[in-house]
Amino acid sequence: KAGVTQTPRYLIKTRGQQVTLSCSPISGHRSVSWYQQTPGQGLQFLFEYFSETQRNKGNFPGRFSGRQFSNSRSEMNVSTLELGDSALYLCASSSGQGAPDTQYFGPGTRLTVL
């Protein structure tokens, strides 16, 4: 089975711009979770989508949004970028059901905001 893929792998934007990141989960997985990772804050949970519905949400401002398509692919959007949004953005896929529901990570998108 192919793993989790994320595009693009690297992105450079300037303050005020917006960005869209994409994540394709493992085949058959219906849950996609997004995380932000910075050296100071560790892995911070953004949100989780399951069957096209946001099921869980972390404590991030509304500038961070996401969606999931019928094929389980997910996109994350950040509007009005700030310098502090520079981070590694990781998505993780899982079946979304049962326990343990193991998450598998993609390679991440490294976003730099100038």
Partner 1 sequence: QKEVEQNSGPLSVPEGAIASLNCTYSDRGSQSFFWYRQYSGKSPELIMFIYSNGDKEDGRFTAQLNKASQYVSLLIRDSQPSDSATYLCAVNAPDGQNFVFGPGTRLSVLP
Interface ranges with partner 1 (CB under 8 A) = 33, 35, 42-43, 45, 48, 50, 55-56, 88, 90, 92, 96-108
Between residues 25 and 108, which has the closer beta carbon with respect to partner 1? 108
For residue 112, the minimal CB distance to partner 1 (Å) is 14
How many CA atoms are closer than 13 Å to the CA of 106, on its beta-carbon side? 28
Between residues 20 and 107, which has the closer beta carbon with respect to partner 1? 107
Between residues 65 and 107, which has the closer beta carbon with respect to partner 1? 107
Please state, in angstroms and rounded to a whole number, the distance separating the CA atoms of residues 35 and 47: 7
Place of tokens 């996609």: 32
Residue of 74, 102, 72, 100 lying closest to 89 (CA atoms) = 74
For residue 80, the minimal CB distance to partner 1 (Å) is 27
Q: Contact at 8 Å (CB) between 106 and 32?
A: no
For residue 29, the minimal CB distance to partner 1 (Å) is 14
Between residues 59 and 70, which has the closer beta carbon with respect to partner 1? 59
Element (H, E) at 44: strand 42-50
Cα first-last separation, the chain: 37
For residue 56, the minimal CB distance to partner 1 (Å) is 5
